[in-house]
Chain A
């Protein structure tokens, strides 16, 4: 084993393997930093080049890239509030508020350090797991997967913050979104509104981008100035960030463990680990109120987890040929191309074990190079948060629309807009978004695996497995602890505002939730049995809870409360606040309409130009330069290099129907 470890290292450090790692890192940095440039697409584009390579070199290139995208993607999440990669969304929640408070340097440094530790941890797990892999993964089965999913869902309560009721409802909304699509047991289309787009479920990337990035753009526009509200950004924060990681070293290790464990489980998906790590960071903290407002632990946790998952997810890939995540699914394709067969041969010292270990080394070395490299450029990156908001806004709007484009159909754009609106409403009315994402990423997993467990082992037979019982005990503790704590220390009365009954906008939004759950329940009643069990069992109680929440909201004025707070923060008067809100919401829609009518390459630059001249009142030079830049970026990078299938402009389609081709 030791010999295989050394051989693996030697193979990676040899030229040209090492050169390929460097190339992989360079590509990974660009792909990670830019939202819209997904690492999956990048891997597929690199496939033709690995055809003629040796396995070690091919993986140096592919895995070298794949293992640093999250490291870089976290930086974009912190700086702009847009996740650079889909598994960096959790870093937005606390990372971006830190950037707004002028602590981008500290947040990025902490994220980088924890990424590095996470990557090394994930690599070590892969090494140590070799003898245990098979029994571990095989003992889980569908019953174990179901229980793991349930364990994750209990985190909804933890992430609900002060308002448990709203947290549960947000989690329920996530479960509702998870159920959208063809039900896997009866193939009944659920909540698809007759759209094929929704048959495969709600895609995670446009949802997270809409939910997190659009509210940040709105916020940036309302406050004016730059992302960093404090202007003078202390680069000295960097050292503090490094220290933070070591102060919270136990958290880093635990979140790394969560990341690798989730990564190890096939079918969990790349979205899960980061959010569970975030939830754990919240759960293990003494003062949870800081979270969502710039708590360093909220940056460290996901930072570690989304890097440690790489090592973890390679375990089932190497041992069974069953990928643990997006990257490993594609790397599995590379295995085939290179003529390798996943399985025991990859774990045997006399066969391919040293190649397996070279994968470990690639992950570790790629991050050992990338992290210090990023530290060198941290100062320049921090300065981005001092860029004028009015110039940044059209660029960010372009990035979110391009970034949401995952199924190559126009539906993606609608999702970004719809979830952007939902995200903004949730922020405005004091609803937390993380519970929604937990529900979304775990809902399908739980439902599918429960039915499989019941079918495979009959009734309750599946509950008798030891691993299931252990997990069940953890779930029970997970549910009971917050309930017990709440009974012991009831939260302070947060009625907010004077007592009395009034229908505020916030209460209206809460009323909307009643409508949503009632509307979700209604069609479910007529579905086949297996398709309706989950919706009825979940949305029935949630309907009751949503009514309770509405009544509670009638007693207070959350809209006025949060608006006051936001106005205070922005330092402007209420009229300006409302005017700016209306304007930026309008521009978000204008960009959407423009790209819908005119397509990406024309619509986005045009909207950018109009925004810069009319709203931002920039000079002709600046406007033309930025417009040209966005056009060149769209056409050059996405059109030419990536050969994007841009959706057809609606006007063109209209024209071609009126005037036949």
Chain B
């Protein structure tokens, strides 16, 4: 009897909560529809038109309206500067607090903020994230000229391996640097390339031996090179192996100290929040909830996925809650390790 009563009251509470929450969700959707209906959402992309990030944002924008209450139209603009930080700073400080101004910029800037680098100027806890449209799973591509066929050879090479990269602090720079430190690899980082296409050309021309960047882009833009075995993927620089590359080891497969692991989690974190979308602070809760849900739904939309597949863009949704969790974990890295990473990110 006692048990029955307990069960009954529990069921009643559950039903009430469920009912209430359905009702609040409906009310919230209603409120969001009222706030967004007939309006225009403007997504400000922190990089130039036609680039990798911009293409993703435009594909998302095309399919977003039907998933957001009130069916607002969605436009994409570009605001470049400071590696995407200008757009993030702008929307943080000057975006309209109504859910109509979004920013799309790289999660690496969140790491920059945590490390105290110049550029990003926002509070990582106060930015209302909407979610992530695409994660970045980094891989290193090594020239076959070297005769290296295994990740062990790559990491234990006696002669320094020349790795092409862009500018200190970029993910294509910081990850190989910290990876080398974590497992004691002999890498010589060559900075100064404008972008990944130039890094790839450097491997082909012999200016560099290897380079590491997002596998999703590598397999598309470097398809020819991989097909002709001019270079091969040799090592992954993330949290786990990418489904495409089950036989290519990840750096975490190699023994490293706990400190090294913590540093690795910090620098690899931005890969999970790579193509990051956010609204401006002050966006009302119900509107933000509706935007987050709509964003997630749009990324599951078969039409969007077909569009993306056609452009050879992979879509991986990471929810706002997950983003908040990752940012929290990155923030929780012990200060002395943060400093160590910051030093690596600053030094040439």
- Report the minimum CB–CB distance from B229 to chain A (whole Å): 12
CA distance A661 to B54 in the complex (A): 31
| Residues from chain B with Cβ under 8 Å of A643 in the complex | 75, 77
Question: Is the CB of B254 closer than 8 A to any CB of chain A?
Answer: no
Return the CB mask of B195-227 against A: 1 if under 8 Å, else 0.
001101110111110000000000011111101
| Residues from chain A with Cβ under 8 Å of B348 in the complex | 185-187, 528, 530-531
| Residues from chain A with Cβ under 8 Å of B168 in the complex | 185-187
Most A-side CB within 10 Å, residue of B77, B201, B347? B201
Residue of A nearest to B52 (CB): A333
| Residues from chain B with Cβ under 8 Å of A453 in the complex | 207
Known: A199-B83, A337-B310, A343-B225. A186 touches B347 (CB 8 A): yes
Residue of A nearest to B79 (CB): A408
| Residues from chain B with Cβ under 8 Å of A448 in the complex | 192-194
Question: Is the CB of A193 closer than 8 A to any CB of chain B?
Answer: no
Known: A47-B58, A267-B198, A407-B79. A339 touches B310 (CB 8 A): yes
Residue of A nearest to B44 (CB): A645
- Which of A162-170, A236-244, A316-324 binds B? A316-324
Question: Is the CB of A568 closer than 8 A to any CB of chain B?
Answer: no
Interface residues of B in 38-53 (CB under 8 A from A): 42, 44, 48-51
CA distance A329 to B198 in the complex (A): 12
CA distance A448 to B97 in the complex (A): 42
Interface residues of A in 121-138 (CB under 8 A from B): 137-138
| Residues from chain B with Cβ under 8 Å of A480 in the complex | none
- Which of A37-45, A69-77, A555-563 binds B? A37-45
Return the CB mask of A337-351 against B: 1 if under 8 Å, else 0.
101011111000000
CA distance A455 to B197 in the complex (A): 19
Q: Which of A51, A139, A185, A339 contacts B192 (CB 8 A)?
A: A185
Return the CB mask of A95-137 against B: 1 if under 8 Å, else 0.
0000000000000000000000000000000000000000001
Is A184's CB under 8 angstroms from B166's CB? yes
| Residues from chain B with Cβ under 8 Å of A337 in the complex | 55, 310-311
Question: Is the CB of B119 closer than 8 A to any CB of chain A?
Answer: yes
Interface residues of A in 340-368 (CB under 8 A from B): 341-345
Residue of B nearest to A41 (CB): B49
Return the CB mask of A139-158 against B: 1 if under 8 Å, else 0.
11110000000000000000
Is A645's CB under 8 angstroms from B42's CB? yes
Q: Which of A139, A411, A455, A531 contacts B188 (CB 8 A)?
A: A455
Residue of B nearest to A186 (CB): B348
Is A407's CB under 8 angstroms from B311's CB? no
| Residues from chain A with Cβ under 8 Å of B202 in the complex | 141-142, 452, 456
Most A-side CB within 10 Å, residue of B48, B80, B167, B207? B207
Is B86's CB under 8 angstroms from A196's CB? yes
Return the CB mask of A449-484 against B: 1 if under 8 Å, else 0.
101110111000000000000000000000000000
Give the A-B pair count, Cβ closer than 8 A. Answer: 169
Question: Is the CB of A285 closer than 8 A to any CB of chain B?
Answer: no
| Residues from chain B with Cβ under 8 Å of A43 in the complex | 50
- Report the minimum CB–CB distance from B249 to chain A (whole Å): 27
Is A141's CB under 8 angstroms from B307's CB? no
Question: Is the CB of B322 closer than 8 A to any CB of chain A?
Answer: no
CA distance A491 to B208 in the complex (A): 48
| Residues from chain B with Cβ under 8 Å of A196 in the complex | 81-82, 85-86, 89, 119
Question: Is the CB of B328 closer than 8 A to any CB of chain A?
Answer: no
| Residues from chain B with Cβ under 8 Å of A267 in the complex | 194, 198
| Residues from chain A with Cβ under 8 Å of B58 in the complex | 44, 47-48
Is B191's CB under 8 angstroms from A184's CB? yes
Do most interface residues of chain B lie in helix, strand or loop, or is the interface mixed? mixed
Question: Is the CB of A182 closer than 8 A to any CB of chain B?
Answer: yes
Is B224's CB under 8 angstroms from A322's CB? no
Q: Which of A141, A342, A344 contacts B228 (CB 8 A)?
A: A344
CA distance A661 to B95 in the complex (A): 12
Is B192's CB under 8 angstroms from A451's CB? yes
Residue of B nearest to A142 (CB): B207
Is B86's CB under 8 angstroms from A452's CB? no
| Residues from chain B with Cβ under 8 Å of A142 in the complex | 202, 207
Is A266's CB under 8 angstroms from B82's CB? no
Most A-side CB within 10 Å, residue of B81, B83, B228? B81
- Report the minimum CB–CB distance from B166 to chain A (whole Å): 7
CA distance A341 to B312 in the complex (A): 11
- Report the minimum CB–CB distance from A112 to chain B (whole Å): 28
CA distance A457 to B206 in the complex (A): 10
Is B224's CB under 8 angstroms from A336's CB? no
CA distance A142 to B192 in the complex (A): 10
Question: Is the CB of A197 closer than 8 A to any CB of chain B?
Answer: yes
| Residues from chain B with Cβ under 8 Å of A41 in the complex | 49
CA distance A266 to B204 in the complex (A): 14
Is B50's CB under 8 angstroms from A333's CB? yes
Residue of A nearest to B121 (CB): A196
Is A408's CB under 8 angstroms from B50's CB? no
Residue of B nearest to A141 (CB): B205
| Residues from chain B with Cβ under 8 Å of A185 in the complex | 167-168, 191-192, 348
Residue of B nearest to A530 (CB): B348
CA distance A41 to B190 in the complex (A): 33
Interface residues of B in 73-101 (CB under 8 A from A): 75, 77-83, 85-86, 89-90, 94, 96-97
Residue of B nearest to A455 (CB): B190
- Report the minimum CB–CB distance from A271 to chain B (whole Å): 15
CA distance A336 to B119 in the complex (A): 32
Residue of A nearest to B49 (CB): A44
| Residues from chain B with Cβ under 8 Å of A40 in the complex | 48-50
Interface residues of B in 310-348 (CB under 8 A from A): 310-312, 345-348
Is B192's CB under 8 angstroms from A408's CB? no
CA distance A603 to B167 in the complex (A): 40
Question: Is the CB of B67 closer than 8 A to any CB of chain A?
Answer: no
| Residues from chain A with Cβ under 8 Å of B75 in the complex | 643
Question: Is the CB of A235 closer than 8 A to any CB of chain B?
Answer: no
Question: Is the CB of B162 closer than 8 A to any CB of chain A?
Answer: yes
Is B119's CB under 8 angstroms from A141's CB? no
Question: Is the CB of B118 closer than 8 A to any CB of chain A?
Answer: yes
- Cross-chain pairs A/B with CB under 8 angstroms, 21 sampled: A44-B50, A47-B58, A51-B310, A141-B205, A182-B167, A184-B166, A187-B169, A187-B346, A197-B81, A199-B85, A199-B119, A266-B198, A330-B49, A333-B55, A407-B80, A452-B202, A453-B207, A455-B191, A528-B348, A645-B44, A661-B97
Pairs of residues from A and B, 6 with the lowest C-beta to C-beta distance, nearest first: A343-B224, A186-B348, A645-B77, A44-B49, A196-B82, A330-B50
Known: A47-B55, A344-B228. 15 other contacts (CB 8 A): A40-B50, A44-B49, A44-B54, A48-B58, A137-B201, A142-B207, A266-B198, A267-B194, A320-B204, A321-B224, A336-B55, A336-B311, A452-B207, A456-B190, A528-B348
B residues with CB within 8 A of A: 42, 44, 48-51, 54-55, 58, 62, 75, 77-83, 85-86, 89-90, 94, 96-97, 118-119, 162, 166-169, 188, 190-194, 197-198, 200-202, 204-208, 220-225, 227-228, 307, 310-312, 345-348
A residues with CB within 8 A of B: 40-41, 43-44, 47-48, 51, 137-142, 182, 184-187, 189, 196-197, 199-200, 266-267, 316, 320-323, 329-330, 333, 336-337, 339, 341-345, 407-409, 411, 448-449, 451-453, 455-457, 528, 530-531, 643-645, 648, 653, 661
